[in-house]
Amino acid sequence: ELKLLLEEEEFQTVVKPISSSNNDGIYQCTMDKTTLNKKTNNTNDIAFSLKELLLTSSESGLLARQEIGSMLPVLGLSESKLLRKNAIVLDMCASPGTKTLQVLEKIGNRGKLIANDIHPKRLIQLKDAIQRSGVLSPLLSLTFTKEEQNTNTVLSYSNLDATKFPSFKKEIRRPHVVLADVPCSGDGTIRKDPSVLRSWSPYTAHALHELQIKILWRSLQLVRTGGVVSYSTCSMNPIENEAVVQAVLLKAAGLDDDDDDDDDDD
């Protein structure tokens, strides 16, 4: 129903479907934020109509708004056939849940997703977003009887420190894919939120660098043999991206200077 509304002639000039081989209803709004948010009582105005549609659909859970850039990790995994229908996926820092929703749509009713977040309040918000989306209902109805639906094995939640996420005792329980969308300075979101620039300082990225390394390292320890880890941030800073990956590669090769190694997995 929402797809039909977005593809109506009224919105065709400002709402475009994203081209990909696995496009499952991904659209991009080409109208700028200022135009979309302009105050008007003219119900025939396209900006007014589109904003009303976006707001009501977001509140009901029919639509999840997300930057195209933040969708790339899951889209890349899906396009590369690394995110299979029966995959076990661990989302290390899952809130606010947009990537979690993407993954659920990709793994289907035979996969399993563990959505983890260290912050209890953010985890509650994540659960609410998943519930409102309705994405679990069709997955459960395909997999379980009504009596079994309360034992949902498609999605589970955890409220744990990602740097100390517990080991999986059996190889078969290890995730095929680990998403590590780590805490970051957020300087890549300046276009949509100029206030980020006003509060930005080099210290923020440097302060998060060690945490990012620890989360990525733990992700690599947890993923099963032959699996894949997706590391991402919403920052453009190399300290939070390339430097983190380099540090972990050096650590894996035994070339780092960190003697405080709590490895319990190969």
Is residue 256 within 8 A of residue 247, CB to CB? The reply is yes
Is residue 36 within 8 A of residue 47, CB to CB? The reply is yes
Is residue 154 exposed (0-12), middle (13-18) or buried (19+ Cβ within 10 Å)? buried
Residues across the chain: 266
What is the 3 state secondary structure string of 120-188?
HHHHHHHHHHHHHHCCHHHHHHHHCCHHHHHHCCCEEEECCCHHHCCCCCCHHHCCCEEEEECCCCCHH
Cα separation, 83 vs 146, whole angstroms: 28
Catalytic residue among 29, 93, 184, 234: 234
Return the exposure string of 68-94: e unless at least 16 CB atoms fall within 10 Å of the residue's CB, then b. Answer: eebbebbbebbeeeebbeebbbbbbbb
**Structure token digits, residue 193:** 């939120």
Cα separation, 196 vs 56, whole angstroms: 27
Torsion of CA 86, 77, 74, 62, to 10 degrees: -50
> Torsions phi, psi of 20, nearest 5?
-160, 160
Q: Is the dihedral of CA 35, 40, 46, 49 positive or negative?
A: positive
* Known active-site residue 234: yes
- Which residues are annotated as catalytic? 234
